[in-house]
Amino acid sequence: MVAASNANAPIGVFDSGIGGLTVVRELMRQLPDERIIYFGDTARVPYGPKSPDTVRRYAREIATWLQHQGVKAIVVACNTATAHALDTLEEEFSFPIIGVVEPGARAAVRASHGGPIGVIGTAGTIGSGAYERAIRALAPQARIAARACPLFVPLVEEGWLDRHATRLIADDYLVPLRQEHVDTLVLGCTHYPLLKPLIADVMGRDVQLIDSAHETAAETARVLDAVGLRAQGSLTCPHRFVASDAPEQFLRMGQRFLGTAIDRVETVTLG
């Protein structure tokens, strides 16, 4: 158990790259008094195609580094790292570890009216079956329709959020889910909140979209409350943004993902 005196310590957040900044954005909105240290493993992005052992090794290295920075909890703001490494981190570290999969799955089960639950994500996340397992753990009879959407991440990183080509690609990926009459769709990738208006338009107003970033921030608030680790008083130190290589991408894309510009990025080499 962590000492309550740590309540004003920062929350560590990590992702393979910049996508986890959508989770930071929600944390800043829902938990404005919390200080955040974000680690984007830009030297080793993407995690999706890498083996579970490799991803676990990376996650352990980053969590150890965040521990040395004195964090009180870690948010694994990366679907692949959550799928492969959450259990390992929970075993090896004594502070709370929050992943992105479980909160999204729980919100989806709550929102669904019994229709199939749709899940979209990268090929790695969908291939891992992590959302299916998390949903079935809560609702064993749930029908699930999962679909990998590999072009969404590069489209978001290119800033093509509402182009005609993006719409055609979204139709191709999502119309089969609409035809299966999913009533809920989990956005199972930290990049996808930026495509929410387009995805909502393709799916139609009857389908409830579950934003994992939003749910993960809400879960973080619940966990910190439960262990008495919510920050006391308002934020005094600035957030820290750390990249393992080439911080230019953060500076260039921070605004798009975070909703506010990042003006300083530290570089830390791991491994």
How would you class 5 by CB atoms within 10 Å of its CB: exposed for 0-12, middle for 13-18, buried for 19 or more? exposed
**Rounded to an integer, what distance in angstroms lies between the CA atom of residue 60 and that of residue 6?**
21
The residue whose two tokens read 């939003």 is 214
* N-terminal to C-terminal alpha carbon distance within the chain: 28
Residues 22 and 213: beta-carbon distance below 8 Å: yes
Q: In whole angstroms, how close is the CB of 1 to a second copy at the nearest point?
A: 37
189 has catalytic annotation: yes
Q: In whole angstroms, how close is the CB of 190 to a second copy at the nearest point?
A: 17
Residues 71 and 37: beta-carbon distance below 8 Å: yes
**Rounded to an integer, what distance in angstroms lies between the CA atom of residue 95 and that of residue 227?**
10
If the CB atoms of residues 201 and 206 are measured against a second copy, the closer one turns out to be: 201
Q: How far is CA 244 from CA 16, 236, 268, in A?
A: 10, 26, 5
If the CB atoms of residues 143 and 256 are measured against a second copy, the closer one turns out to be: 256
Count other Cβ atoms within 10 Å, centred on residue 108.
30
If the CB atoms of residues 42 and 82 are measured against a second copy, the closer one turns out to be: 42
Q: In whole angstroms, how close is the CB of 80 to a second copy at the nearest point?
A: 12
**Rounded to an integer, what distance in angstroms lies between the CA atom of residue 59 and that of residue 224?**
21
Q: From the candidates 189, 203, 224, 231, which is the catalytic residue?
A: 189
149 has catalytic annotation: no
Pairing of strands 266-267, 117-121: unpaired
**Rounded to an integer, what distance in angstroms lies between the CA atom of residue 200 and that of residue 198?**
5
If the CB atoms of residues 166 and 208 are measured against a second copy, the closer one turns out to be: 166
If the CB atoms of residues 163 and 181 are measured against a second copy, the closer one turns out to be: 163
Q: In whole angstroms, how close is the CB of 269 to a second copy at the nearest point?
A: 9
- Give the residues lining the site for a second copy (CB under 8 A): 42-45, 49-51, 54, 150-151, 153-155, 157-158, 160, 163-166, 168-169, 172, 245-246, 249
Catalytic residues: 78, 189
